[in-house]
A and B are shown apart, each in its own frame.
Chain A
Amino acid sequence: DSGVTQTPKHLITATGQRVTLRCSPRSGDLSVYWYQQSLDQGLQFLIQYYNGEERAKGNILERFSAQQFPDLHSELNLSSLELGDSALYFCASSIRPMTGVGNTIYFGEGSWLTVV
């Protein structure tokens, strides 16, 4: 168990709908990262927050948004869902804003999103 908690574990929704994925980082971690992993694909970095502020942005669609709350949990909002958004969404956390030796990122178990 990495200490990073993600809910829900599985979600099935229809095209055009909106969903929210939730992440609680490890205790004491200030950074939260979101990644998307499509079937048989690698990990695509979406966005990073550090202590409530957006820190880095990757290939995140405009239909997607995220935020980190004062209690450090984070939510990833996916709207106007398309079939191609079906993927495993990982949240990860680390204690400091810059990844590096001694600042490992720990992944949660992921949220499986299926858009039908």
Chain B
Amino acid sequence: GENVEQHPSTLSVQEGDSAVIKCTYSDSASNYFPWYKQELGKRPQLIIDIRSNVGEKKDQRIAVTLNKTAKHFSLHITETQPEDSAVYFCAATLAGKSTFGDGTTLTVKP
């Protein structure tokens, strides 16, 4: 089955800096890659997604890049703010089933 590795597990940045979270996946047939943000004790919420026929997607301060050849995709957050502090999960989806990474705890220090 699909295996997703996510790095780093924790990330601390200063407010205003950029944050990058990387994920690799094992099954080249995976074709949809969402990213979720989960605040403490709350539900995961989709923040951005990308499908396998697209290399990059941007939504304001958030961007995702996908390298199908290398089977990795990354989340980029620019101009980080304290409210960006949360756990971020990547996922690789195949035939409707999403396999999640173990999450990255992002802390943005004011």
Q: Which residues of A contact B (CB under 8 A)?
A: 2, 41-45, 48, 55-56, 58, 90, 97-101, 104-110
| Interface Cβ pair total, 8 Å cutoff | 56
B28 to chain A, nearest CB (A): 17
B100 pairs with A99, CB closer than 8 A? no
Nearest A residue to B31 via CB reads A100
A106 to B34, CA, bound (A): 12
B44 pairs with A43, CB closer than 8 A? yes
Scoring B residues 47 to 58 as 1 if CB is less than 8 Å from chain A, else 0, what string do you get?
A: 001110000000
B100 pairs with A98, CB closer than 8 A? no
A104 to chain B, nearest CB (A): 5
User: Which listed residue (A44, A48, A90, A109) contacts B96, Cβ 8 A?
Assistant: A48
Residues in B neighbouring A106, C-beta threshold 8 A:
46
Nearest B residue to A40 via CB reads B103
A104 to B50, CA, bound (A): 11
Given known A48-B97, A107-B45, contact A42–B102 (CB-CB < 8 A) = yes
B interface SS class: strand
A44 to B93, CA, bound (A): 13
> Could you tell me how many residues of chain B have their Cβ less than 8 Å away from some Cβ of chain A?
23
Q: Which residues of B contact A (CB under 8 A)?
A: 31-32, 34, 42-46, 49-51, 89, 91, 93, 95-103
A45 pairs with B98, CB closer than 8 A? yes
Residues in A neighbouring B93, C-beta threshold 8 A:
99-100
A98 pairs with B103, CB closer than 8 A? no
A42 pairs with B96, CB closer than 8 A? no
A104 to B47, CA, bound (A): 10
A55 to B51, CA, bound (A): 21
Given known A100-B51, A101-B51, A107-B44, contact A41–B102 (CB-CB < 8 A) = yes
Nearest A residue to B43 via CB reads A107
A104 pairs with B49, CB closer than 8 A? yes
Residues in B neighbouring A99, C-beta threshold 8 A:
32, 34, 93, 96-98
Residues in A neighbouring B43, C-beta threshold 8 A:
2, 90, 107-110
List 13 additional contacts besides A101-B32, A107-B44; criterion CB under 8 Å.
Answer: A41-B102, A42-B100, A43-B44, A45-B98, A45-B99, A56-B97, A90-B43, A100-B93, A101-B51, A107-B43, A107-B45, A108-B43, A109-B43
